[in-house]
Structure 1
Amino acid sequence: MRRERFHTFALETLREAPDIRGAEPWDRGDHTIGLHVTFSTGAQIWVGITMALAPGEKHDTPEEPGRGEPPAEVPVPELHKDGMITPERVKHYLAAVMTNSGCDEIALAYPYTDDGHPGFGVQFHNGAKVFCLLVHSARAGQSPGGKYELLGTF
């Protein structure tokens, strides 16, 4: 699944997820596309999306989706603690939502380990990968701060 199609798929999937009030496209203006997600509390997260094509695939050739068994459903982790959300909880929550989407192109969705920047990844049956980095966060009614500002709680 290429980035643009994943973008559409992710927006549709997130709009149906529990604890999510809305999911909208986000374009930073520097060729970065992403997601602006608003949770039921009003807290917000902005997610940048990049990708790696399937082995041997080129950007100027038609996409060849691979299909297989969707990943087994997993429990969706608790998003809130004492009314607050953290980037750590968000990455696990969003990875579980992607895992549970039932999409037969997804082989695996996973939260990143402690690599310095929270996010989640999705690997597809054709070998393509999507990388989703949490870029900004804001409390209800606030706008994001500067470049790559993730609040500890929001």
Structure 2
Amino acid sequence: MHPDRFRQLCLDVLPQAPDITTAEPWADDDAPPCGIVITTTSGSRLWVTITSVLAPGARIDDADVPVPGEPLTAVPVPALYEDGKITPRAAEAYLAATLTNSAHPEIQRAYGYTDDAPTRHPGVGIEFHSGAKVYLPFAHTARAGQNRGRERYRLQNDF
């Protein structure tokens, strides 16, 4: 799945989650080629970059042909907030569960980066039945009423 099509999937699916009010394209002067801004019910925001790895043997100019498979079984959605705040780890788990529960037929696995190994840069990974992968590293966080930081990947401990 190409990044633009995956971004549209996120824009459609994420606002349906109980603790997310909006998911919008990241479109400012510092925006990556493909990204989204997620706003939660508390007003906190998370900026996410979308990058991808093509399926084995695929080329960038190939058509983005869906490869469906067995949809994932729904999982419990963990709490996003702890004492009214969000940690990057909680955001990973929440977004991975939300994308798992979308039952999108192309998604084979959704996981938080820290589920696989400790990491300094949190995010969510998606594996598709085609063999393609999408990565969603968290680029910025902001508490309600704050602007995002200037330096990418330097996240607040909670937001």
Give the aligned partner of residue 83 of structure 1: 84
In the alignment, which residue of structure 2 is the partner of 1:112?
Answer: 113
C-alpha deviation, 1:64, in angstroms: 2.3
CA offsets, 1:88-110, max 9 Å, x none? 10011000000000100000001
Equivalences for residues 65-144 of structure 1 within 5 A: 65-113=66-114, 114-144=118-148
2:54 and 2:136 mapped to 1: Cα distance?
15
TM-score (norm 2): 0.92
User: 1:27, CA displacement in angstroms?
Assistant: 3.8
* Identical pairs, percent: 46
TM-score between both structures, scaled by the size of structure 1: 0.95
> Offset of 1:21 from its aligned partner?
1.1
Structure 2 residues without counterparts, runs of 5 or longer: none
Partner of 2:51: 50
Q: Tell me, what secondary structure is at the counterpart of 1:47?
A: strand
Q: Which residue of 2 aligns with 1:23?
A: 23
RMSD between superposed Cα atoms in Å: 1.2
Partner SS state of residue 150, structure 1: coil
Gaps of 5+ in 1: none
How many pairs does the alignment contain? Answer: 154
The 1-side partners of 2:62 and 2:138 are apart by: 30
